[in-house]
Structure 1
């Protein structure tokens, strides 16, 4: 088994994409409050992700890896079509289920969401390039499985309770995800064949660390939603601001 396949198998078996929250989500078993909590917390990932990617790009020495990261970043920003910028597509989703964008941007994150965003930022900007690349690899290779759980749940909610829900962001991202995976495959290949030795044993250990660390943060994000940890907010406040 190649190192690439070993790491991909690890990602696809991780609790970041196999957990009780996503199982429930896929079945559309969310209350109105659950949906609003998901929508506003996930928005933090959507709007900060380009900044996180940029922090990795400016710290990447390998030019071939930087080329692949640039492709992912350019995709996030709409591939030159500003209206296709992913954060704007997500804003359409928020509005379609009655959530004010300003409120979603200004609401404090849950502790588990904050840990996920800050953890990703720390990993992606790490001066240890193998660790940073591992984090990026882990996130991009779990994405198709994640979308394939989120989209059926949202489609079910759209059919039963939210007829005006705009899920373009999710469907659009799902279509693009294979290109992001390809970019990561090319980046890993570039690192493995760089120089005379390619990736050292230490590089591989650091890469594995990055993969596991980012997925643990993501698993914590989902389980934070499952635990409904919202010490500074209550359902009345949520519905008041989302109306």
Structure 2
């Protein structure tokens, strides 16, 4: 097994994409308040991810790796088409649910969401380039599995509760992920080619640590959303603040 295959296996077996919340989401088994909470909390990822990518790009020394990271960033920004900027597509999703964009942007994150966003940013800007690249590899290689859980659940909600639901952000991402995976594979190949013997044992360990760290943060994000018990009165009241008056 190659190092790339080993790391892919590590990603695909992680709890970040193998957990009860994603299973419930895939089956459309979320209460309306849970679904609205997901929509607003996930928006924080959609809007901050380009900033996180820039932090990694400007801290990457190797130009071949930087080229591959640039491809992912350019894709996030719409590949030259401003209306395809991913964060704007996500706003269309929120609007189709009647969620006010200002409220979604200004509402405080759940602690688990903040830990995910801030942890990911720290990993991507890490001066340890192998660790930062591992984090990026982990996130891009889990993505297809994540979308394949989210999209069926979104379709179920669209059919059963929100016929006007605009899920273009999610389906658009699913179509792009193979190219993002390829970019990370090429970046990993560039890292391996920097030395005749490939990445050193220490770099490989750091790369692995980066994968595990970013996926642990993502796993924590899902756990933070996994609320099976009925919401408290305070929590239910908060849900009204997602929507425009």
Shared fold per TM-score greater than 0.5:
yes
Tell me how many residue pairs correspond in the alignment: 243
CA shift for structure 1 position 195? 3.1
Which residue is equivalent to 1:77? 77
CA shift for structure 1 position 11? 0.3
CA shift for structure 1 position 237? 2.4
Q: Following the alignment from structure 2 to structure 1, what is the Cα–Cα distance between the partners of residues 190 and 130?
A: 12
Give a deviation string over 1:42-85, Cα, whole Å, max 9, x none. 00000000000000000000100000000000000000000000
Q: Which is further off, 187-196 or 49-58?
A: 187-196
TM-score with structure 1 length normalisation?
Answer: 0.97
Q: Following the alignment from structure 2 to structure 1, what is the Cα–Cα distance between the partners of residues 207 and 241?
A: 45
Q: Please show how residues 1-243 of structure 1 align to structure 2 within 5 Å.
A: 1-227=1-227, 234-243=235-244
1:80 alignment partner, SS class: coil
Q: Following the alignment from structure 1 to structure 2, what is the Cα–Cα distance between the partners of residues 241 and 158?
A: 19
CA 1:127–1:67 in 2, change beyond 3 Å: closer, same or farther?
same
CA shift for structure 1 position 240? 4.2
Q: Following the alignment from structure 1 to structure 2, what is the Cα–Cα distance between the partners of residues 118 and 240?
A: 24
Q: Following the alignment from structure 1 to structure 2, what is the Cα–Cα distance between the partners of residues 135 and 103?
A: 30
Question: What's the RMSD between the two structures over aligned residues?
Answer: 1.6
CA contact (8 A) 2:104 2:242 kept: no
Moved over 4 A (4+): 228-231
Q: Following the alignment from structure 1 to structure 2, what is the Cα–Cα distance between the partners of residues 15 and 239?
A: 31
TM-score with structure 2 length normalisation?
Answer: 0.96
- Gap regions ≥5 residues in structure 2: none
Q: Following the alignment from structure 1 to structure 2, what is the Cα–Cα distance between the partners of residues 242 and 36?
A: 9
Q: Following the alignment from structure 1 to structure 2, what is the Cα–Cα distance between the partners of residues 174 and 39?
A: 17
